[in-house]
Amino acid sequence: MRTRQDIASAAAEKLLAAGPSLEQKPVLVGFDGFVDSIIHVVDKRHSMKLDGFTRIRTIEHFAGRAAAAAGKSANIELVVEEDRFGGNGPLMAGGLGRAGAAVTYIGTVGRVDNPREVDPIYQPFAARCKRVIPVGPPAHTDALEFDDGKLMLGKPRNVMNVDWASLKQSVGAERLFALIENAALIGIVNWVMMGGVESIWDGLCDEVFPKLGGAAKKKRVFLDLCDPAKRSDSDIEGALVKIRRIDSLVPVTLGLNLSEAERIGAVLKLDALQDAHGPGRGQSVRFGAEAIRAKLGIDCVVIHPREGAAAANAKGMSHWFDGPFITEPKLSTGAGDHFNSGFALGQLCGMELDECLAIACATSGAYVRDAQSPDQARLAAMLRAMPLPQ
């Protein structure tokens, strides 16, 4: 059995070897777009300068402050540290593009006054992509950052207008079909906040994938539901039926964080992930990935808690990989999307399942340490000297 460092080193070598060939494996990702305001919550002020405060460092502390206002009121100050391009799709696509993939992005990344022109805040993102096709202005998220996680307060109105019909109209049906046909990987994320995602899934299954014949099985689809806590069990059950249908035509990887996996497991009535928060975390999460994948009957399921990740595939392989966890990240908003980009990158490079986990953990780990997406050199260095979990 290979050691953790052996797996990470093998992933680094395969990444560098595959680098030039990534241009021949186009990626299509969509279809949301948000402007993320990265926010610190003020605990105490020691001066009236903008940065003259100590912040609330934990979600528990913040929850206590909010709960104490019940029956009364409270003034909670939010300090916007910066505005960044965001959205699950752009963050995943940006991670892939920064790592060398040839990315086409379609989504709500346009200017408010001209939705078919890329918004200036997305110009750094657009520079990483082969092409960006705006189909509307971005939505907005207030991302409250804490040491133990983040609270994403989303305002999704603008992304709710995107569906299969609007994509064909905005992009052009022939052009859209050609981009899908040419793509080695298709990433579709944020089912939770985009009411039109299921129509996009249906459009692909009804109008595109069946026409590709055997070539469809050589592609991959990466899906992330993106925190289905607020959606009903029946909504989730319906989505899972459609995901099975996609997988019958093109192999699907379903990416889940731990809370998402627990919700999916509950909807599927699986007795899994029982010790996912205890000392047997790695084994429990691996068993959970195996159980969810087997119940859905899809090609691959990957689950990423903060401390590492596990995956299982239809070939009967499953693994847990300890991630380079850090207790005080520079930035956590987008960590899961960068994990997704790393895992999908590993699949594009033909890596083994454990190597895909290693490069996914390295991508997310570098991102939260640097507050920016890693390029190939940074990823290779991270993998070759994979930090031990803290």
**Domain CATH for 130:** 3.40.1190.20
**Res. 390 pLDDT band, cuts 50 70 90:** low
Note whether residue 225 is domain-resident: yes
Note whether residue 74 is domain-resident: no
Q: 18-27, 232-241, 343-352 — which is least confidently predicted?
A: 18-27
Give the β-pairing of 220-224 and 185-189.
Answer: parallel
389 has a pLDDT exceeding 80: no
CB 331 within 8 A of CB 374: no
Residue pLDDT, tens place only, 352-385: 999 999 999 999 999 999 999 999 999 999 999 9
Alpha helices in the chain (DSSP H): 4-18, 59-67, 88-98, 123-128, 164-171, 173-182, 197-203, 233-249, 258-267, 281-296, 335-348, 353-370, 376-384
DSSP 3: -
pLDDT > 90 in the chain, percent: 86
Note whether residue 338 is domain-resident: yes
Note whether residue 200 is domain-resident: yes
Task: Report the pLDDT value the prediction gives residue 388, as an integer from 0 to 100.
Answer: 74
Residue pLDDT, tens place only, 308-340: 999 999 999 999 999 997 888 888 888 999 999
Residue numbers of the domain that contains 193: 4-39+83-384
Note whether residue 369 is domain-resident: yes
The amino acid occupying position 306 is R
CB 329 within 8 A of CB 368: yes
Q: How many domains does the chain have?
A: 1
Q: 17-26, 33-42, 213-222 — which is least confidently predicted?
A: 17-26
Note whether residue 60 is domain-resident: no
**Res. 276 pLDDT band, cuts 50 70 90:** low
Note whether residue 264 is domain-resident: yes
Task: Report the pLDDT value the prediction gives residue 247, as an integer from 0 to 100.
Answer: 98
Residue pLDDT, tens place only, 87-101: 999 999 999 999 999
Note whether residue 71 is domain-resident: no
Q: How many helices (H) and strands (E) does the chain have?
A: 13, 14
Mean pLDDT of 10-17: 96
